[in-house]
Amino acid sequence: MNNKRRQFIKTAAIGGVLAGTLPRVLAAAPPASKDAASGKKNKIKLLKDDIILFQGDSITDAHRKREEKEANLQMGMGLSYPAHASAELLCQHPGMNFKFYDRGVSGNKVYQLAERWDADCLDLKPTVLSILVGVNDFWHTLVNDYKGTIQTYRDDYKALLDRTKKTLPDVRLIIGQPYAVKGVKSVDDKWFPGFLDYQAAAKEIAGQYGAVFIPYQEVYDKAQQKAPGSYWTADGVHPNLAGARLMADAWLDAVTV
């Protein structure tokens, strides 16, 4: 790709102007999360009165209390990265009037997000939407006889984002990379190379929809230079205390106030 074209794609992706209408040929666009020329990471600028929704599976759910539906409730935000990230932003920026919601649901794959998307996303009218989904779309093909493929994941994810952009054209997107910590309990050799396609798809979709992309796999890989995988996650998928904070740091690094 020549530089001019790359620049166009980058600019478009940052602005989100091509969201939902990006032709297939641009699928290999550079990830939205880093500006190759400046080396500066693209970030979501959080604005006053932002409504920030965390969506995903058990990693985002993290034992939240379903009945705690209002914004910024301690038990409603669960025990993981959404709680740590939101607590920090609420504490540091009381004047911003942020409203945080967590609507992760354990076990969810993309099609299951779609099933509850009206109530658990669109009706909340988020201005910032953070999604982390994909590990079950692959994992459940190994353990739950789930028949979805990488194409199902990609198609379902794009349909979900198209639907979101239709109702919420100005929503700012954060897409987290599905990750797995190899060698820790549930994550064995059977995951590879199959799971890598899901990781690549999430990154590609982030680029296509002008989302800021959080490379959680890289985050966990780097963390393992400091301590073994089991220090961050008990089963290779769900973060523990240290892992939750690790992910919150990565999430916070994807936004600016």
227 binds a second copy (CB under 8 A): yes
| Nearer of residues 89 and 206 to a second copy, judged by Cβ | 89
- 122-159 burial, b for 16+ CB within 10 Å, e for fewer? bebebbbbbbbbbbbbbbebeeeebebebebbbebbbe
Q: Are 48 and 94 in contact (CB under 8 A)?
A: no
231 binds a second copy (CB under 8 A): yes
| Nearer of residues 10 and 84 to a second copy, judged by Cβ | 84
Tell me which residues in 78-117 interact with a second copy (CB under 8 A): 79-80, 83-84, 86-88, 90-91, 94-95, 100
End-to-end CA distance of the chain: give it in Å, rounded.
Answer: 33
Q: Give the CA dihedral 148, 154, 156, 162, nearest 10 degrees.
A: 180
221 binds a second copy (CB under 8 A): no
| Nearer of residues 53 and 206 to a second copy, judged by Cβ | 53
Binders of a second copy: how many residues, by CB under 8 A? 32
35 binds a second copy (CB under 8 A): no
DSSP conformational letter for 213 = E
Shortest gap between Cβ of 169 and a second copy (angstroms)?
30
48 binds a second copy (CB under 8 A): no
Closest C-alpha to 183, from 227, 141, 220, 229: 229
Q: Are 160 and 114 in contact (CB under 8 A)?
A: yes
| Nearer of residues 78 and 210 to a second copy, judged by Cβ | 78
| Nearer of residues 71 and 161 to a second copy, judged by Cβ | 71
Shortest gap between Cβ of 53 and a second copy (angstroms)?
15
Q: For residues 216 and 57, give the distance between their C-alpha atoms in angstroms, rounded to a whole number.
A: 15
**Which phi-psi region, left, alpha or beta, contains residue 72 (left: φ > 0; alpha: ψ -120 to 50)?**
left
Shortest gap between Cβ of 177 and a second copy (angstroms)?
19
Shortest gap between Cβ of 231 and a second copy (angstroms)?
6
Shortest gap between Cβ of 241 and a second copy (angstroms)?
5
**DSSP 3-state of 24:** helix
28 binds a second copy (CB under 8 A): no
Q: For residues 148 and 138, give the distance between their C-alpha atoms in angstroms, rounded to a whole number.
A: 8
Q: Which residues are at the interface with a second copy (CB under 8 A)?
A: 62-63, 72-75, 77, 79-80, 83-84, 86-88, 90-91, 94-95, 100, 223, 226-227, 231, 240-246, 248-249
